[in-house]
Copies of this chain bind each other. A is one copy, B any other.
């Protein structure tokens, strides 16, 4: 996407807006000298990014040990259909955050998990039991400060050459967005338990 009529954006509110409507980050780390990119759930908490996973996860342990990380969050928002193949591209927003994660423990860990749950399904926290100490012990929660970041936005119309604009080819943008389908109850859901407000609101 490097050839697009994209722009760098420095407004932190735009960074926050992208992170707040995203579910997945791609986390890059160097493992044994080689790059590794892993998708993971994420949430923003003020001026930091939270991720969590199993204490048994090798790449998370690397992060917990302070390895340099590159966290990229991308939202694909449309296809730019230009009059030429060359100018065709995507509408997208992509944030790249560099830094080192720190491990959260105790109350900070519990609070961060609450933020992650509420980001996934707002309102869900009030509908489920608290996590047990055993569950907390099996979970690694990491925070990355939103200090060193860049944000790229591609949201322009096709930029065709004059010769192409005067031709017969169509040009425009086809928007893309993610949508939720109807909630599907689990096969072992007990009879009479309705879809809760948090899930209905998705």
Contact = CB atoms under 8 A, between A and B. Distances in A.
Interface string A169-190: 1111111111111111111111
Interface residues of A, number: 98
Can you tell how many copies of this chain the complex includes? 2
B174 A177 contact: no
B37 A30 contact: no
A37 B36 CA distance: 9
A197 B40 CA distance: 37
Interface in A82-103: 82-86, 88-90, 92, 94, 96, 98
A3 to B, nearest CB: 4
B128 A183 contact: no
Interface in A103-127: 113-114, 117, 120-121, 124-125, 127
Contacts of A114: 85
A2 B157 contact: no
B176 A2 contact: no
Of A2, A78, A181, most B-chain CB atoms within 10 Å: A2
A50 interface: no
A38 interface: yes
B34 A37 contact: no
A1 B39 contact: yes
B185 A170 contact: yes
A39 B94 contact: yes
A70 interface: yes
6 contacts: A3-B53, A26-B37, A35-B35, A88-B121, A171-B188, A178-B178
Closest 6 interchain pairs by CB? Answer: A175-B181, A28-B35, A28-B37, A26-B26, A2-B57, A2-B53
